[in-house]
Amino acid sequence: MSNTELPLAQRDPEIAHLIREEEALEGRTLRLIPSENYVSRAVLEATGSVLTNKYSEGYPGKRYYEGQQVIDRVEQLARERLLRLFGAEHVNVQPYSGSPANLAVYLAFCQPGDSIMGLGLPAGGHLTHGWNVSITGKYFTSHAYGVSPNDHRIDLAEVARLAKEHRPKLLWCGGTAYARTWDFAAFREIADSVGAKLVADIAHIAGLVAGGAHPSPFGIADVITSTTHKTLRGPRGGVLFSKAELAKELDRAVFPGLQGGPHNHTTAGIAVAAHEALQPEFKAYARAVVDNARALAEALLGRGFSLVTGGTDNHLILIDLTNKGIAGKLAAQALDRAGICGNYNSIPFDPRKPFDPSGLRIGTPAITSRGMGPDEMKRLAGWMEQVVAAPDDAGLTQRVAGEVAELCRSFPAPGLLT
Ligand SMILES: *Cc1c(COP(=O)(O)O)cnc(C)c1O
């Protein structure tokens, strides 16, 4: 056998071993980072296919390279399925990920220096909605809106006032650490009142929208951007949707504006994920993600945890650890040692620094993909209370890690061999 025919384990044992290790780690721990999930074996197979070999700059029927007989059909299928799934007019499946998808929206509709508005990072927004360390905050004039100091929910009157004052070209809605429902219709009204384009970034909640567990921005927002790898349960990637009249500008912004050839293996994985999300059981999954987040929030409140906005409407929970007397980073690290993996996160009006903030962000998409339910959420809250109360107790974290691994064995994760 020539070297190029060798399986990974023989050709590159070091990397093969690390992949096995990661697989085991993902299998024996509770993965609570709300932007993560487990893809199916089918999505993994499509993503790890020979489609990675092909160059196909352009779009189906209008390519700059020959040999697109198969690739065109793959991209068409991905598009058709996504349009059906979300009830959209136009979709572009080529953005390399969520951030490039968002950048394409700026390129399509803004000039450098133009005024834009989005939810500020400390209030739960995404970097690419104009935060100052991002290219979107450097090349455009960003006026972030925040959340109300009283209930930590988005204050629509404040958004309207800022929009009147700054007349943004783009008004972004969507976030990464906001646990409440987005009122897309209210944002539409504000955008219309100042002539802004409304962009809904549903990266986190795309699976919930597809499954009917969060209101849909389709038919309301001008442009909708998303990742494909969070609640949507596809490979890492990005997509852009719009009304038909904006299709040309957006497509030109993605290619040739920002990118070269699309990642065709990813496109195939996205097509598979869309196929899976079109099945009736995906609705049940989306519902269960939200039900589990509610159950976990209730259980945490019962154990004295303080939650930003007091609870959740979606898949994620932002915990304010101040009353527990522990910083977010220490808590996240202790929980990780116990097999419970979340991320430290700023809370609105956080008195602490972003690299060592007061909050912990967790979510239920991945553990729901394993089939866990409300009973498991109660056990999880119990473990979290114990670990956060004694983060330096190595015996405790070890015992919890063992119990977590045992629970995980009863709920095998999709796509894992171990
Ligand atoms: C995750 C996320 C993104 C960026 O996605 P990447 O694939 O990490 O670039 C953009 N917007 C929001 C709201 C997100 O949550």
Atom of ligand 1 nearest to the CA of 99: 9
Is 236 considered catalytic here? Answer: yes
- What's the rounded Cα separation, in Å, for the pair 47 and 139? 34
Sign of CA dihedral 40, 217, 116, 186: negative
| Whether 200 contacts 184, CB under 8 Å | yes
| Whether 297 contacts 307, CB under 8 Å | yes
**Which H or E run contains 350?**
none
In angstroms, how far is CA 300 from the centroid of its own chain? 23
Look at ligand 1, atom 5, and give the residue with the nearest C-alpha: 98
Is 285 considered catalytic here? Answer: no
As a dihedral over the C-alpha atoms of residue 192, residue 194, residue 199, residue 204, rounded to 10 degrees, the angle is -100
Q: Strands, DSSP E only, in 71-222?
A: 90-92, 115-117, 141-142, 170-173, 197-201
pLDDT given at position 184: 98
Domains present along the chain, CATH in parentheses: 47-277 (3.40.640.10), 291-410 (3.90.1150.10)
In angstroms, how far is CA 198 from the centroid of its own chain? 19
Mean pLDDT in order along the chain per 10 residues (418 residues): 89 97 97 98 98 98 96 98 98 98 98 98 96 97 97 97 98 98 98 98 98 98 98 98 97 98 98 98 98 98 98 98 97 98 97 95 98 98 98 98 98 87
Ligand 1 centroid – CA 166 distance (Å): 25
Atom of ligand 1 nearest to the CA of 176: 15
Ligand 1 centroid – CA 126 distance (Å): 7
> Which pTM was predicted?
0.97
- What's the rounded Cα separation, in Å, for the pair 249 and 256? 11
Pocket of ligand 1 (CB under 6 A): 35, 97-99, 102, 126, 128, 174-176, 201, 203-204, 227, 238
The residue assigned the tokens 């390399």 is 96
Residues with Cβ < 8 Å from 45, sequence gap 6 or more? none
Beta bridge pairs of residue 119: 145
User: Which of 10-39 are b and which e, b meaning 16 or more Cβ less than 10 Å from the residue's Cβ?
Assistant: eeeeeeeeeeeeeeeebbbbbbbbbbbbbb
3-state secondary structure of 30: strand
Cα→Cα distances 105→102, 227, 286, 385, Å:
5, 14, 28, 43
Look at ligand 1, atom 8, and give the residue with the nearest C-alpha: 98
Cα→Cα distances 382→64, 297, 375, 399, 400, Å:
57, 12, 11, 13, 10
pLDDT given at position 2: 81
Ligand 1 centroid – CA 127 distance (Å): 8
pLDDT given at position 418: 58
Look at ligand 1, atom 12, and give the residue with the nearest C-alpha: 203
pLDDT given at position 417: 74
Atom of ligand 1 nearest to the CA of 229: 7
Is 38 considered catalytic here? Answer: no
3-state secondary structure of 2: coil
Ligand 1 centroid – CA 156 distance (Å): 23
